[in-house]
Amino acid sequence: MIIKSFFTNSIGILVSRIFGFIRDLLTANILGANIYSDMFFVAFKLPNLFRRIFAEGAFTQAFLPAFTKSRQKGVFAVGVFVRFFIFILFLTLLVVLFSPFVTKIFAYGFNDEQVANTAPLVSINFFYLALIYIVTFIASLLQYRSHFAVTAFSTALLNIAMITALLLSDPATPQDTVYYLSFGVVAGGVLQVLVHLYALKKVKILPLLIGAVKYRKTHKQNEGEKKSFYKNFFHSVLGGSTVQLSAFIDTWLASFLATGSISYLYYANRIFQLPLALFAIALSIGIFPRIAKLINRNEQDEAVKLLSKGFWILAFLLCGSALGGIILSKPIINLLYERGSFTAEDTIVCAQVLSMYLLGLIPFGLSRIFSLWLFGHQRQKEAAIISAISLGGGIIFSFILVYPLGVVGLALANSLGGFFLFILTIRAFGIKAFFGIIKSLKSALLILALIIEAVALIFLMEILNAYL
């Protein structure tokens, strides 16, 4: 079951990321790394920031354990959905009304003209948040029924919509192109909602939501469940927001650096996110519902066994990805982006940024799987404190390293924050329990495999350098 759900999510994410890289390739080719690409990435980052804080990470982490324990699942789910959706609509209205002010906060280094040109893009992109919340809510219900395929593959629709927008924009000016891209984001969100609504009907979860009819009569019976959920959600927001706040601070600091710095962070982070999503996120999504159910039934040993299996799969894949990515960072950037407006000088800087990001791939990925233990036990408050401490460490390093290393220092600071996160998460999980997992022959085999891979990758790099 773990392998099946892992591969379903991984293949879906891989398909999405392939389309995502095609999108990035076209974006780099058409816009390059300049003020127009910086403008769009600032506008696109804003809904993604709130999406990952409110809709995806925090919501799913708090919703699934609470939904599993709920005695009136349909009533509970509908009540939560309505409240959150109203809040997100209100938040969207505020962002649209005060878009210049919001833009200035997220890109303080922009001058007045750049802020004025970016503000409309921020307004358009932010409508994606409400759409992706609907997707996330339905996806949580589908995960409960061990149905992962639609959610895994649906993200490709966003990338396809943006690719279509880029193709339609040719031969528009760069300023018009970023508008095409922004409307493509909204169109992609609509497509994702439609396929999730179809899946909801297909797997016959709709009868579960009929409890909405009884909502007014039975809401008092769910008050304790809802209070517990909102408390855990609040803590999940604090914990989940740390990574996004770190990205916001990086963007804010990069806006003071040379033009293109925001774009370098974006392009490199997109590659960094591929193995993180393909392996860590896919595996976490696949096993979290089962871990939550096992913990709810007080089958702790079985939950640890499942976590251990996930750890070894993830450790091997992440170590290989980090090693390969660092050694081959320049050829990767060259292959994906160096064409059109993206120059050889851009490749050098972007490859350096990518290498610094990849240093944090292993701690970030492994932290995610061990945090499932905390979420399953509804220890979201503890997870939030851990994330806050790691965020604080990352921010301190960002301010220290941005002066001597520039945009490369921001990526390195991000990775150092990941090591803080990993150490503290293992401490919360239990150091003795952690050593019980890694104390086996698998550790030696993993190290041997990585040594062999390192030798092979160095040899491959020498061959590629001869032709690049």
Q: Distance between CA 40 and CA 298 in Å, rounded?
A: 48
Confirm if 131 and 192 have CB atoms less than 8 A apart. Answer: yes
What are the φ and ψ backbone dihedral angles of 399, each rounded to 5 degrees? -70, -30
pLDDT value at position 212?
Answer: 56
DSSP H or E stretch at residue 191 = helix 174-202
pLDDT value at position 452?
Answer: 59
Q: Distance between CA 250 and CA 401 in Å, rounded?
A: 11
pLDDT value at position 463?
Answer: 47
Q: What residue type is 34 in one-letter code? A: N
Q: Which two structure tokens, joined as six digits, stand for 371?
A: 């945090």
**pLDDT tens, position by position, 229-269:** 766 677 666 665 666 667 677 777 877 777 778 788 888 88
Cis peptide bond N-terminal to 171, omega within 30 = yes
Q: Comparing C-alpha atoms, which of 89, 192, 83, 62 is closest to residue 132?
A: 192
Global pTM value: 0.66
Q: Comparing C-alpha atoms, which of 128, 117, 110 is closest to residue 45?
A: 128
**pLDDT tens, position by position, 378-397:** 777 787 788 888 888 888 88
pLDDT value at position 1?
Answer: 55
Question: What is the gyration radius of the CA atoms in the chain, in angstroms?
Answer: 22
Q: Distance between CA 41 and CA 178 in Å, rounded?
A: 9
pLDDT value at position 439?
Answer: 73
pLDDT value at position 191?
Answer: 93
Q: Distance between CA 328 and CA 335 in Å, rounded?
A: 11
pLDDT value at position 3?
Answer: 60
pLDDT value at position 244?
Answer: 63
The total domain count for the chain is 1
Q: 201: number of CA atoms within 13 Å, CB side?
A: 5
Q: Comparing C-alpha atoms, which of 344, 323, 319 is closest to residue 458?
A: 323
pLDDT tens track, the chain, 468 positions: 556 666 666 677 778 778 877 887 787 777 766 677 777 877 887 777 666 665 556 677 677 777 777 777 777 777 778 888 888 899 889 988 888 888 887 776 677 787 888 888 888 888 988 898 888 888 888 877 777 777 777 878 888 998 998 888 877 677 788 888 889 989 999 999 998 888 887 776 766 666 555 555 555 555 666 666 766 677 666 665 666 667 677 777 877 777 778 788 888 888 888 888 778 877 877 777 778 778 877 777 777 788 888 888 888 888 888 888 888 888 888 887 777 677 888 888 888 889 888 888 888 888 888 887 887 777 777 877 888 888 888 888 888 888 888 888 888 888 888 888 888 988 888 888 888 777 765 655 566 555 655 555 555 555 445 444
pLDDT value at position 467?
Answer: 43
Q: Distance between CA 468 and CA 426 in Å, rounded?
A: 42
| Count of residues making up the chain | 468
Domain range enclosing 37: 2-467
